Structure 1
């Protein structure tokens, strides 16, 4: 039974009702020695507590899309086929132009929580050695005959940690919010891509390449990106691609955009951070070398020192001590053509929560419209 499906939630709710009614029905009828009676009553109380905790967990998980399935929750899922050293460019010496096109079979999304018109595929990363599901939503204009020869810009959506590939589409309702705005012309049409980022058991990949462990950077910036280009009318230039993330996904978005200006033009980071060690489960945060090298501050400073500030636009939002200072640190380093727009979110807005990020969706996509075009 699926962890996130309605049937399991209803089953858990039914068990909770039984656990609540059971003591009232049989408490005084338990027979046997005092020790047996005490044990039976203790088990009834434990049963009630476990079922109550389960129902609360399911409510929180379904609202925030933290764990996608049992494998994610229990740390038994395996999404790594290989993790060889791919070098500084994350390509392992390969030229993407020489690689055969990746033709994927897509099917309707298997969970109604993501909303209508969402499709998905299971991708095996030929470069990264990572495999996982990828959700895709096409804008209203995509199938309009007037746009049949037009390519579209793309935004990759990255959740926090733990986080499901369904989170932006399910919890933040990004497609449902944007569809009428795109239809009316208030927001430019974008292809939305939501790939799996939870690829390691009980660890945050930090969206980095770590030989022998994971190539999460190449999964997102090479395999997923190229698959979308090969299967849809998506732009293939950096100006057509952006990243958006919240929390740990915000760290990834700003890091990947700054590290790969040859692949991305813009990124949005909501309630993020620069130092990966802020996330205790981060692989990058636990590795002294990676902790420095994958910090967006270091990436931007190194590019500036080399005389090559990246042509990257960043939109960073957050409250005090929850992303704002991280954004200001990058803004102070930014040199043309790098631009950093920092927005302060008041503490009264709701904190480090899905409703805060959900409310920002229309604004951040209007901002993307200033920079992304196919």
Structure 2
């Protein structure tokens, strides 16, 4: 039974009702010695406590899409088959143009709360050695005969940590919000791609490559990107690609876009951070060298010092102490053609929550429409 499915929610509700009704009906009817009666009543109370906690967990998890499967929660699933040393470009000496096409079979998304039109596939990353699900949503124009020769820009959607690849669709309602706006021509049509980012038990990868551990960077920026290009009508140039993330996903979006201006034109970061050590479970934050090299501030400084500021557009939003200062730091360093737009969110907007990020969806996609082209 899925952690995020309706059946598990209904089961939790029924069990809680049973846990309340049973003590009311049987409390005074339990027979036997005092010790037996006391033990039975204690078990009924414990059962009621467990079912109540379980229901609260299910409601919170469904609202925020923190854990997708039982394997994610219990740490029993493995999503890394191999983690070779792929070198600084994350390609392991290969050229993506020489790699054969990776055509995939897609099926409807496995959670109705993501809304209509979301499809999914199980991808085996040939370069990264990562395997995981990838969700794809096509804009209303994609199957319109008038657009049969049109290539569409793509936005990769990254959740926080812990976080499910369903989160942008299920918690932020990105497709539900954008569909009518795209139909009315108020927002340009994008293909939305949500790959798995929760790859290791009890650890945030920081979206980096760590030989022998995980190649999260190459999974997101090479394997997922190539799969989408191979299976859909999308542009393959950087101007057709962007990343968007919140919290830990915001850090990843900024870091990956600045690291790979040959693959992405823009990134959106909602309530993120620059220093990966601000996420206690970040593998990048725990490694002294990776903590520096994966910090967007360091990436931008190094590119500027080399005389090659990236052609990258960043949109950074956050409240004071929750992403805003990270954006200001990047904006102060930006040199053309790098641009950084910073939007301060009110401290009273709702905190570090999906409700705050959900409200920003139309605005950030309007901005993306000014940055990307097919």
* TM-score by shorter chain over 0.5: yes
SS in structure 2 opposite 1:349? coil
1:42 offset after TM fit, Å?
1.1
2:143 alignment partner in structure 1: 143
Deviation by residue 1:261-280 (Cα, 9 ceiling, x = unmatched):
00000000000000101111
1:221 alignment partner in structure 2: 221
1:130 alignment partner in structure 2: 130
SS in structure 2 opposite 1:337? coil
SS in structure 1 opposite 2:340? strand
Q: How far apart are the structure 2 equivalents of 1:8 and 1:150?
A: 41
1:305 alignment partner in structure 2: 305
Q: How far apart are the structure 1 equivalents of 2:210 and 2:156?
A: 22
Alignment of 1:152 with 2:138, yes or no, is: no
Residues 173-322 of structure 1: matches in 2 within 5 Å?
Answer: 173-322=173-322
1:38 alignment partner in structure 2: 38
Q: How far apart are the structure 2 equivalents of 1:195 and 1:284?
A: 20
1:195 offset after TM fit, Å?
0.5
1:26 alignment partner in structure 2: 26
Q: How far apart are the structure 2 equivalents of 1:196 and 1:143?
A: 26
Count of residue correspondences: 374
CA RMSD, 1 decimal:
0.7
Q: How far apart are the structure 2 equivalents of 1:65 and 1:3?
A: 10
Alignment of 1:3 with 2:16, yes or no, is: no
Deviation by residue 1:59-82 (Cα, 9 ceiling, x = unmatched):
000111110010001011110010
Q: How far apart are the structure 2 equivalents of 1:213 and 1:303?
A: 27
1:94 alignment partner in structure 2: 94
2:162 alignment partner in structure 1: 162
1:28 offset after TM fit, Å?
1.4
TM-score, length-scaled by structure 1: 0.99
Q: How far apart are the structure 1 equivalents of 2:45 and 2:139?
A: 51
Unaligned runs of 5+ in 1: none
The ranges of structure 1 where at least 4 consecutive aligned residues each deviate by more than 3 angstroms after the TM superposition are none
Deviation by residue 1:322-373 (Cα, 9 ceiling, x = unmatched):
0000110101100010000000000111010111000000000000011100
1:32 offset after TM fit, Å?
2.2
1:373 alignment partner in structure 2: 373
Alignment of 1:117 with 2:117, yes or no, is: yes
Q: How far apart are the structure 1 equivalents of 2:253 and 2:111?
A: 25
Q: How far apart are the structure 1 equivalents of 2:274 and 2:332?
A: 14
Deviation by residue 1:294-331 (Cα, 9 ceiling, x = unmatched):
00000000101111100000000000100000110101
Q: How far apart are the structure 2 equivalents of 1:364 and 1:106?
A: 28
Q: How far apart are the structure 1 equivalents of 2:86 and 2:264?
A: 19
Q: How far apart are the structure 1 equivalents of 2:166 and 2:8?
A: 18
Residues 15-94 of structure 1: matches in 2 within 5 Å?
Answer: 15-94=15-94
Q: How far apart are the structure 2 equivalents of 1:288 and 1:39?
A: 53
Deviation by residue 1:202-246 (Cα, 9 ceiling, x = unmatched):
111111100000000000000000000000001000000000000
Name the stretch that deviates more: 124-133 or 110-119. Answer: 110-119
SS in structure 2 opposite 1:343? strand
1:34 offset after TM fit, Å?
2.0
1:33 offset after TM fit, Å?
2.2
Q: How far apart are the structure 2 equivalents of 1:110 and 1:19?
A: 30
Q: How far apart are the structure 1 equivalents of 2:318 and 2:34?
A: 58
1:188 offset after TM fit, Å?
0.5
